[in-house]
Structure 1
């Protein structure tokens, strides 16, 4: 994220698309290209990655998350509806959003995750 430009630069390496939260609207940032994980492509693990730029304005939140979050299942086998649930807390600050998501995810799986799960929330601040 350049400090003075209201954008975020992304590469996709087989990860779920980040979510941009602006006000009460959620947008998945889906890149046009996806690549093997860093270190798995090209000669000696060095590859060329396509960078895509998306708007990222002051006040926006960016959610980065692992597949363990969206693949978490409850006892009935239902996946956790991450994008729908995250949208419920778009007006929260990053710490509150993470707390809500953590509590909601753990409630969905009755306190037991079968895979690692991580979420990072980044808020764009004025410089």
Structure 2
């Protein structure tokens, strides 16, 4: 039986946005590992072999997409932080705000990603009525 690979999760992550900036592979890998840890802690244990670059089983599509959305939230948190750190220049004749609408757009995108992730996680959480 074929096992789920790192690339499958990365491809799912890449489908959640369109960006002109290349994301460093080391940063994507860190977000991936954080997503695997978070999923294992909050929902169900999943085992990933870093040497082979694959999980110990074939994950269903919903789990792969959940990991991708977890990575998207990490990405959006970083984008919002970057926008918040832009410098604003204000004088009596001129006002330049580097964040302006970018800040509200980044915050809105983060909130959407968090909402989508919460929706995915909720559907995978066992209820107290589950045997």
**As a proportion of its length, which structure holds more strand?**
1
For the criterion TM > 0.5, the same-fold answer is: no
What is the TM-score normalised by the length of structure 2? 0.28
**As a proportion of its length, which structure holds more helix?**
2
